[in-house]
């Protein structure tokens, strides 16, 4: 049975609600839910915070006329869970409230669910339809799907470059490149990703905090590559204010909210890092440099999205911005005086 325009409108509303959980629901997926009765919205909700009630729970509790639920149609962006985790199964809640129909955007790739929620609903006599706005739903939860299907985090590369293609001055001297509005956008991006990664040179020359200051949201887990443990211990990365992981070829015990992960020099660096992040249930990482790190990930194809901020002014020389393997321009827009280019490899 084809979906109606009203069905699509309600699922788009559910997707919009799901986005409100960005940065807070992780590592859980973003989920929104809308409940309708005879063409009227009677309840809606979204997964607001990890460990808290799921979208279906918020939506059901928002219904002020619960006697209408047995005649209701529920739109949810991801298959209702069928297992006990931090909260009881949402499939059981919908069954207990005798809802008539459930429309699902995406099936859940998590092996703990993976069709079991749909099966449980159907066995209870609830009509279930799937696949409404499926591609939009996969894009919304691209971090979750990448983590579940590829057993690694979703990798976002980010850098700012001048109009003539440089991202730092000679000998990696830090220079201001992007404008104020673009810097605010970067802090928004930081709030949306689970972790943030820099290499040794960036950590040494920029002494970054890698936190969220100009946008509301949670700080990401800080990641730094320091193969020989050469970074000054007084740098901001080691101030203990947020969880930090150092990837190194040396051994050092955890201290002051900083973990040290010893990697093998005999194996490629980034597959080891991505595997460790998967084991830590970190679903996405924003890579802010430097050029060696960015070029390595581009060359090896270990990236899912690249966000390039291009400023209007020129530098005349310095450290060249990455170019190798950068393909698939998907989006382009302006932020203040700067242009932002969004690339995806496929």
Q: What is the rounded average pLDDT of the residues 119-126? A: 95
CATH 3.40.140.10 in the chain is located at 5-146
Determine the average pLDDT of the residues in 266-280.
Answer: 97
Residue 193: pLDDT above 80?
yes
* Residue entry with tokens 């996405």: 284
Average of per-residue pLDDT across 278-297: 95
Give me the pLDDT at residue 296, please.
Answer: 94
* Domain 5-146 fold: Cytidine Deaminase; domain 2 (3.40.140)
Nearest C-alpha neighbor of 106 from the set 72, 127, 87, 81? 81
Mean pLDDT of 59-70: 96
The boundaries of every CATH 3.40.430.10 domain in the chain are 151-343
Evaluate if residue 313 carries a pLDDT over 80: yes
- Name the phi and psi angles at 306, rounded to 5: -130, 130
Is the peptide bond between 27 and the residue preceding it cis, with omega within 30 degrees of 0?
A: yes
| Chain centroid offset of residue 313 CA | 31
Q: Are 207 and 236 in contact (CB under 8 A)?
A: yes
DSSP 206: H
Average pLDDT, the chain: 94
Asked about 56 being catalytic, the answer comes back as yes
pTM of the model: 0.93
Q: What is the mean pLDDT of residues 176-182?
A: 95
**Segment (H or E) for 62:** helix 55-62
| DSSP label at residue 255 | B
Helix (H) or strand (E) holding 252: none
Phi, psi of 215 (to 5 degrees): -155, 140
pLDDT over 70 at 315, yes or no: yes
Whether the predicted pLDDT of 1 surpasses 70: no
Higher-confidence residue of 115 and 318: namely: 318
* DSSP category for residue 328: -
- pLDDT (tens digit per residue) in 213-263: 999 999 999 999 999 999 999 999 999 999 999 999 999 999 989 999 999
The domain 151-343 having CATH identifier 3.40.430.10: the answer here is yes
- pLDDT greater than 90 at residue 59: yes
pLDDT attached to residue 84: 61
Among the listed residues 44, 56, 79, 288, the single catalytic one is 56
Give the model's pLDDT for residue 171: 84
Structure tokens at 69: 């639920």
Report the C-alpha gap between 339 and 282 in whole angstroms: 30
Residue 324 pLDDT: 81
Pick from 142-151, 163-172, 298-307: least confident: 163-172
pLDDT value for 9 = 98
- Binned at pLDDT 50, 70 and 90, residue 283 comes out as very high
């Amino acid at each position: 049975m084809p979906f109606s325009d009203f069905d699509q409108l309600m699922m788009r509303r559910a997707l919009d609600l799901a986005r409100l959980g960005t940065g807070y629901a992780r590592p859980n997926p973003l989920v929104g839910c809308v409940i309708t009765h005879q063409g009227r919205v009677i309840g809606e909700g979204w997964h607001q915070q990890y460990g808290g009630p799921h979208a279906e729970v918020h939506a059901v509790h928002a219904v002020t006329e619960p006697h209408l639920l047995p005649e209701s149609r529920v739109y949810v962006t991801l298959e209702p869970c069928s297992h006990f985790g931090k909260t009881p199964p949402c499939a059981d809640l919908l069954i207990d409230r005798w809802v008539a129909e459930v429309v699902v955007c995406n099936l859940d790739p998590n092996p703990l669910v993976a069709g079991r929620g749909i099966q449980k609903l159907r066995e209870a006599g609830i009509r279930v339809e799937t696949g409404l706005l499926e591609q939009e739903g996969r894009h919304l939860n691209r971090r979750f799907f990448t983590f579940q299907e590829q057993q690694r985090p979703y990798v976002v590369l980010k850098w700012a470059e001048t109009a003539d293609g440089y991202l730092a001055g000679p000998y990696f001297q830090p220079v201001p490149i992007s404008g104020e509005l673009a810097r605010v956008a970067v802090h928004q991006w930081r709030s949306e990703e689970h972790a943030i990664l820099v290499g040794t040179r960036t950590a040494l020359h920029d002494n970054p905090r890698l936190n969220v200051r100009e946008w509301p949201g949670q700080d990401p887990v800080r990641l730094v590559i320091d193969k020989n443990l050469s970074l000054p211990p007084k740098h901001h990365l080691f101030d203990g204010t947020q969880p930090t992981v150092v990837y190194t070829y040396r051994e050092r015990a955890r201290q002051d909210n900083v973990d040290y992960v010893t990697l093998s020099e005999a194996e490629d660096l980034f597959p080891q890092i991505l595997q460790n992040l998967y084991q830590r249930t970190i679903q996405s990482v924003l890579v802010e440099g430097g050029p060696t790190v960015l070029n390595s990930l581009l060359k090896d194809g270990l990236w899912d999205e690249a966000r390039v901020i291009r400023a209007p002014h020129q530098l005349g020389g310095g450290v060249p911005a990455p170019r190798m393997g950068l393909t698939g321009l998907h989006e382009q827009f302006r932020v203040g005086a700067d242009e932002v280019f969004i690339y995806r490899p496929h």
